[in-house]
Amino acid sequence: MGSLNDVIGKADWKTEKHVPVIECPSEVKADAMFDIKVSVGKEIAHPNTTAHHITWIALYFHADGEKFAHQIGRYDFMAHGEAVEGADAGPVHTHHQVITTMATKKSGKLLAVSMCNIHGLWQNEKDVRVT
C-alpha cells in the first residue's frame, strides 16, 4: 500500500465536485479573527443522498516554518435523508458546508480535506498571508 498522499484526490474545484472550496481573505492582520467558509460542490453540485454524500470536512492550518499543521476543526454531516421508511425518505438533510473563525500570528496554508462515502478523500489548500 502506498501513502495517504497516493489516495487523496486533488483537482480544480471548478471542474470536480468532490474538492473542498476554501473561501477566506488571502491577507489577514496578525491575531485578528477572520471567517473561513469550506464547502463541497460549489460549481458542480455534489449529491446529498443516503447512497452518495459527503460525510465530513476537516480543516487544518500549517504555519510557515512549523513542522506540523494545526487542526482547526472537523465537521461531520450526519443527515442524508435516512429514515425508518427507507433511504432518502427522511425529513432531514445536512449540507456539506461549514463556516468557522480563526486567528493566526503567522502566514501559512489552510488545508481542507473532504470525505465522500463513495469516492474517498479530496484535498484543497489556500495560502493566507499575515500583514
Active-site annotation holds for 53: no
Of these residues, 18, 53, 80, 96, which one is catalytic? 18
Residue 93 a catalytic site member: no
Catalytic residue among 66, 119, 125, 126: 119
Residue 43 CA: distances (Å) to CA of 13, 15, 89, 123, 131 = 7, 7, 27, 16, 31
Q: Which of 16, 82, 109, 126 is catalytic?
A: 16
Number of H helices, E strands in the chain: 0, 8
Active site residue 95: no
The active-site residue, picked from 53, 80, 96, 116, is: 116
For the question of residue 80 being annotated catalytic, the response is: no
Q: How far apart are alpha carbons 57 and 114 in whole angstroms? A: 4
3-state class of 16 per DSSP?
coil
Cβ-based neighbours of 69, under 8 Å, separated by 6 or more: 60, 61, 62, 111
Q: Is 46 a catalytic residue?
A: yes
Is residue 96 flagged as an active site residue? Answer: no
Q: Which one of 46, 53, 80, 96 is the catalytic residue?
A: 46
Catalytic entry in 10, 14, 37, 52: 52
Distance CA 62, CA 17 (A): 25
Residues catalogued as catalytic = 16-18, 46, 52, 116, 119
